[in-house]
Amino acid sequence: MATDQYNRNLHYLRISLTDRCNFRCVYCMPEHMIFRPRSELMDDEEVLFFVRLFVSLGFDKFRLTGGEPTVRPNLVGLVKDIVNTSGVKSLSMTTNGVIMKKLAHPLAEAGLQRVNISLDTLDPKKFEMLTRRDSFEEVWGGIMAAEEAGLKPIKLNIVVVLGHNDDEVVDLARLTREHAWHIRFIEMMPFGGATDFQRNQVVTAKDVHERIKEAFGPLEAVNGGKLDGEARLYRLPGGIGHVGFISSVTQPFCASCTRARLTADGRLRLCLLHEDEVDLLTPVRQGVSEPEIRQLAREALWRKPWGHGLAEGTVPLNRVMSEIGG
C-alpha cells in the first residue's frame, strides 16, 4: 500500500472524468467558463490505465467526479470496465443529479455502488440562482431514481452559503426523518477566482449544527462521533437517516486523509487545497514505461502535505473546483 511521509496509508483515488459541467454554480465557476480541449483530457483507455496503476500501488477505493461526470460519453461502459478491474473494491460517483433519472439504472447495472448528489436548496428559485440553471425538478427526480436503482446510501451534499441557503438547513436536515439518506452540510472552501465570495459567505459547521439542534433537540452522534470519511454523522430524534457535517475549513480532518485526486487532464493532485500537482498523463503519451510512471506516482504520494494552509491565508488559485474534481 502507498504511504506518505506522515505514515498515512493512501488507498482512495478520486478521478475527474471531465472539467465540463451542465451547471454554473456561483461558488464553483463563472457563468462563461472556458473548458479544456477534449484532446487534453484522459480518454477511456488512459483512465483505465491509471486505475490499474493505482491498484498496483494499493488503491482499492475509487470515486468518479468532474466537472459533472454524467456528461462524459460512454460513462456506463467506463464504469463497467473499472468495476471489472481486479483490485477495485469500491466505485462511487459524485454528480449534480440532473441526468440521473436516465442513467441511475444503467449505472447500477454496470456496477456503480453509490452516488453523492449535490443539492444546496429545496427552493426551485434559489436552486436556479445558485446553479444558474432551472433544473430542480430534474435533480429531485434523479435522486429518487438513484435510490430506486439501489445506489445507496444516498448522500446529498449541501454547500452552505450565507444569505443564500443557510436559512434552509433545518428543512434539509428534516429530510432524514423521512428518508434513509445522508444529508451532508459542507463548509464552503476558497478556490480559484471566486475566493472573495467564498470567504465572505462561509457558514461554519458548528453554526449549522447549532441551528439544527435548536430546531430538533440534541443530536445523537453516530459511531461515537468518529469521522465517517470526511463527515461527522449524527441522527435527529426520530430520524432514519444521518445528518453529516464536513468542516474542512474550521475543523479539518487532514490527519485521517487517505485520498489523492487525478484531474481530468491527468495531474495527480495531492491535496484538494494545495496547488502541488504531478503530470502523469504527459509521460504516458510520451511512451514512458509503466514502472517509471508508477515510481513517479509513488514519489508524489510520499510528499502529500499534512494539511491545507487556509489558517495561514494560503488559498489554491491554479484551478477552480470543477477543474479538480472535489
- DSSP per-residue codes, 281-305: HHHHHTT--HHHHHHHHHHHHHT--
| Mean pLDDT, residues 39-60 taken together | 98
| Mean pLDDT, residues 48-52 taken together | 98
Query: With bands split at pLDDT 50, 70 and 90, how would you rate the model's confidence at 195?
Result: very low
Q: Is the pLDDT of residue 267 over 90?
A: yes
Query: With bands split at pLDDT 50, 70 and 90, how would you rate the model's confidence at 320?
Result: low
Q: Is the pLDDT of residue 315 over 70?
A: no
Count of residues in the chain:
326
| Confidence (pLDDT) at 153 | 95
| Confidence (pLDDT) at 198 | 47
| Confidence (pLDDT) at 87 | 98
Taking only the tens place, the pLDDT of each residue in 228-263 is: 888 999 999 999 999 999 987 778 778 889 999 999
Higher-pLDDT residue of 326 and 59 is 59
| Confidence (pLDDT) at 318 | 54
| Confidence (pLDDT) at 325 | 66
Percent of all residues in the chain with a pLDDT value above 90, rounded to a whole number: 71
**Domain of residue 218, residue span:** 2-323
Neighbours of 161 (CB within 10 A): 21
| Confidence (pLDDT) at 309 | 59
Neighbours of 133 (CB within 10 A): 18
CB 50 within 8 Å of CB 81: no
Query: With bands split at pLDDT 50, 70 and 90, how would you rate the model's confidence at 163?
Result: confident
Q: Is the pLDDT of residue 194 over 80?
A: no
Distance, in Å, from the CA atom of 79 to the CA atom of 64, rounded to the nearest integer, reads 9
Q: Is the pLDDT of residue 192 over 60?
A: no
Q: Is the pLDDT of residue 184 over 50?
A: yes
Q: Is the pLDDT of residue 30 over 90?
A: no
Number of domains in the chain: 1
Three-state DSSP state, 228:
strand
- Its pTM surpasses 0.85: yes
Give the domain CATH number at 130. 3.20.20.70
Taking only the tens place, the pLDDT of each residue in 285-314 is: 999 999 999 999 999 999 998 876 565 555
| Mean pLDDT, residues 313-325 taken together | 61
Distance, in Å, from the CA atom of 302 to the CA atom of 296, rounded to the nearest integer, reads 10
| Confidence (pLDDT) at 252 | 76
Distance, in Å, from the CA atom of 266 to the CA atom of 273, rounded to the nearest integer, reads 18
Neighbours of 7 (CB within 10 A): 6
Query: With bands split at pLDDT 50, 70 and 90, how would you rate the model's confidence at 319?
Result: low
Distance, in Å, from the CA atom of 316 to the CA atom of 318, rounded to the nearest integer, reads 6
